Amino acid sequence: MRSILKKMLGVALAASLCLGAVACKKKDSKSDFKVGAIYINSQNDTSGYTYAHHKGITTAMEAAGLSVKDDLIIVDNVPEDDEAVRAAIDTLAGKGCKIIFGISFGYINAMDAAAKDYPDIIFSHGTGYLSNDTNFNNYFGRIYQARYLAGIAAGYKSLELGNNNIGYVSAYGTEYAETCSGINAFTLGCLSVNKDATVHVYELNTWGDIEKERQAAQILIDTYGCCVIAQHCDSAQPQLVAAEKGFFGCGYNSDMAVDAPSAHLTAPVWNWNVYYQLAIETARDDAKNFMSKVGNYYGGLKENFVDISPLTENVPAPAATAIATARELMVKGEWDVFSGVALSFDASGNMTKSDVALVTNDGTEIVAAGGASVEDGVITGSMNYFVAGVIQEQ
């Protein structure tokens, strides 16, 4: 009897150990999946471009059941230099990362090369255009849609202030379709409210330089009399300058009302977690089919990938009505920004549509009156002209 009991206890103990081992293995399986990230600035930034990506990655990881503390490895403050980027990639690969995100445009060539050398790692490049069929994709979105909505807010504010001059601090101008399309969409949003508005663009020739961003905003206000300062640059400096000088602004990447509450109207923002969760879960659960399931991602308002931050009390009331109308049209796919159909909003926020040709600031027709929107490839890759209403000052 004792022998039988011993055997039964032995079987039970073995089963227990086996189940425990399985449980332990299951518990540790998540820590086997490491996420790597290469940042242009510091992960400790509290606003701006890198902050928005970091928040998106960490939010996505938590939703995917991963530990930010244990499963996320970051190399930050990496310049857009191929050798520096490659060194960061090698570091992350050496630490077992299964997917590596590079958030800055200038990382593109190093990531392209590394994808060939590390075929078992998924490389995902933000704002780029290169990819392959197996382990290298790019991701971006229709941020121009959110830019248009912010332009509506800026247009109403310019009317309220009786000042048609609106400033725009931009990392680059027509050299990159990313910056160019954003400037154009913002301008068209302004013009939908204030047909006499002019958007003065000051180009920095760098993605991130706090001092240049501050100086550009000061010049736009002091030299060109701009009453609203928009931006496509990394920090909140343009918004801080607007606040210091008693004017207003539209930030970018994050809700900069936190930085400049007396000045901020709204900001085009990214819900990066929408993409990051899709990418992380697919790389973890079905890496072999990553490109067929995720591919080169390009979401917009419809996917809740882009939007604007909540309108502040600085925004004239009719703007909310106008913005809601324009947003609905874009979400439903009934209208888009770069078409031959222009929206106009009156003092109460009511909309009218008109067939109007989309033309550059030198008079060249891009889309005929009533014509369909330009193709995505133009918006993301070859838009190299400013629309009527834009003046490049620097």
Instruction: Summarize pLDDT for 59-101 with one digit per residue, the tens.
Output: 999 999 999 999 999 999 999 999 999 999 999 999 999 999 9
Q: What fold, for 143-267+311-392? A: Rossmann fold (3.40.50)
Look at residue 20 in the predicted model and tell me its pLDDT. 44
Average of per-residue pLDDT across 158-169: 98
- H/E stretch holding 38 reads strand 34-38
For 304, residues 6+ apart whose C-beta sits below 8 A from its C-beta are: 271, 274
Q: Are 211 and 234 in contact (CB under 8 A)?
A: no
Average pLDDT over residues 328-352: 98
CATH class of 32-141+271-299: alpha beta
The C-alpha angle 243, 245, 248, rounded to 5 degrees, equals 45
Residue 134: pLDDT band with limits 50, 70, 90: very high
Is the full-model pTM beyond 0.85?
Answer: yes
pLDDT at residue 106, rounded to an integer: 93
What integer best gives the mean pLDDT of the chain? 93
Cβ neighbors of 237 (< 8 A, separation 6 or more) are 210, 213, 214, 217
Q: Could you tell me if 60 and 273 are in contact, meaning their C-beta atoms sit under 8 angstroms apart?
A: yes
Where residue 128 falls among pLDDT bands split at 50, 70, 90? confident
Nearest to 151 by CA among 109, 178, 119, 191: 191
> Which pLDDT value is given to residue 4?
42
pLDDT of residue 12: 44
pLDDT at 360: 98
Tell me how far apart the alpha carbons of residues 96 and 77 are, in angstroms, rounded to a whole number: 21
Alpha-carbon distance values, 91 to 43, 76, 109 (Å)? 17, 12, 17
pLDDT one-digit tens code per residue, 349-375: 999 999 999 999 999 999 999 999 999
Q: 234 pLDDT band (50/70/90 cuts)?
A: confident
| Span 257-279, average pLDDT | 97
What pLDDT is attached to residue 207? Answer: 86
Of 14 and 220, more confident: 220
Among positive and negative, which fits the CA dihedral 305, 311, 315, 320?
Answer: positive
Q: How large a percentage of the chain has pLDDT more than 70?
A: 92
Q: Would you list the domain boundaries of the chain?
A: 32-141+271-299, 143-267+311-392
| pLDDT band at residue 30 under the 50/70/90 scheme | very low
User: Average pLDDT of 217-237?
Assistant: 97
Q: Do domains 32-141+271-299 and 143-267+311-392 have the same CATH topology?
A: yes
The pLDDT, as a whole number, for residue 123 is 98
pLDDT confidence of 31, banded at 50, 70, 90? low
Is there a contact between 97 and 37 (Cβ–Cβ < 8 Å)?
no
pLDDT of residue 208: 79
